[in-house]
Amino acid sequence: MKAKVLITAKEVDDIVVSELESMNYDVSHLPEPSEEQLLDVIGEYEGLIITTYTKVNKKVLAKAEKLKFVGRVGAGLENVDEQAAQEKGVAVFNSPEGNCNAVGEHALGLLLSVMNHIASANMEVKNGIWQREENRGEELDGKVVGIIGLGHTGTAFAKKLRGFDVEVLAYDKYKENYGTDFIKEVSLDELLQRADIISFHIPYSKSNHHFLNVSMIEKMQQKPYIMHTCRGAVMDTKAVLNALETQEIKALGIDVYEDEPWTKGKQVEIDSYKKLFSLKNVTATPHIAGWTKESKIKLAQVLMQKIKIWKTTQ
pLDDT of residue 117: 97
Longest dimension (CA), the chain: 70
Name the residue type at position 219: K
pLDDT score at 76: 86
pLDDT for the residue 91: 97
Give the residue numbers marked as catalytic. Answer: 231, 260, 287
- Percent pLDDT > 70 in the chain is 100
State the DSSP H helix or E strand holding residue 272, giving kind and residue range, or none if neither: helix 270-278
Looking at residue 127, what is its pLDDT? Answer: 97
| d(C-alpha 227, C-alpha 158), whole Å | 13
Residue 1, pLDDT score: 79
Q: Report the pLDDT value the prediction gives residue 209, as an integer from 0 to 100.
A: 97
For residue range 231-246, what is the model confidence (pLDDT) as tens digits?
999 999 999 999 999 9
Better-predicted residue by pLDDT, 10 or 285: 285
* pLDDT digits 0-9 by tens, 175-195: 999 999 999 999 999 999 999
Looking at residue 10, what is its pLDDT?
86
Q: What is the mean pLDDT of residues 126-130?
A: 98
Can you say whether the dihedral through the CA atoms of 55, 58, 59, 64 is positive or negative?
Answer: positive
Condensed to tens digits (0 to 9), the pLDDT of residues 266-279 reads 999 999 999 999 99
Domains of the chain, by residue range, sit at 3-95+294-312, 100-284
pLDDT surpasses 90 at 208? yes
DSSP, collapsed to helix, strand or coil, labels residue 169 as: strand
CA distance 103 to 157: 7
Mean pLDDT of the chain: 96
Q: Is 168 helix (H, G, I), strand (E, B) or coil?
A: strand
Give dist(CA 19, CA 21) in Å, integer: 5
pLDDT recorded at residue 40: 95
Rounded distance between C-alpha atoms, residue 38 and residue 48, angstroms: 10
Going by CATH, does the domain composed of 3-95+294-312 fall within 3.40.50.720?
A: yes
Strand-pair category, 251-254 with 282-284 = parallel
- Does residue 99 contact residue 295 with C-beta atoms inside 8 Å? yes
What are the pLDDT digits (tens) for 136-166?
Answer: 999 999 999 999 999 999 999 999 999 999 9
Residue 17, amino acid: V
**What pLDDT was estimated at residue 103?**
97
Q: What is the pLDDT of residue 52?
A: 84
35: enclosing H helix or E strand: helix 35-41
Nearest to 53 by CA among 260, 224, 258: 260
Q: Tell me the mean pLDDT in the region 18-47.
A: 95
pLDDT-derived band of residue 314, with 50, 70 and 90 as boundaries? Answer: confident
Would you tell me how many other CB atoms lie within 10 Å of the CB of residue 198? Answer: 24
Positive/negative CA dihedral, 275, 277, 283, 285: positive
Question: Residue 49 forms beta bridges with which residues?
Answer: 7, 71
pLDDT value, residue 12: 87
pLDDT at position 114 is 97
pLDDT, tens digit (0-9, with 9 covering 90-100), for 244-265: 999 999 999 999 999 999 999 9
11 pLDDT band, cuts 50/70/90, is: confident
Domain 100-284: CATH architecture, name and number where available = 3-Layer(aba) Sandwich (3.40)
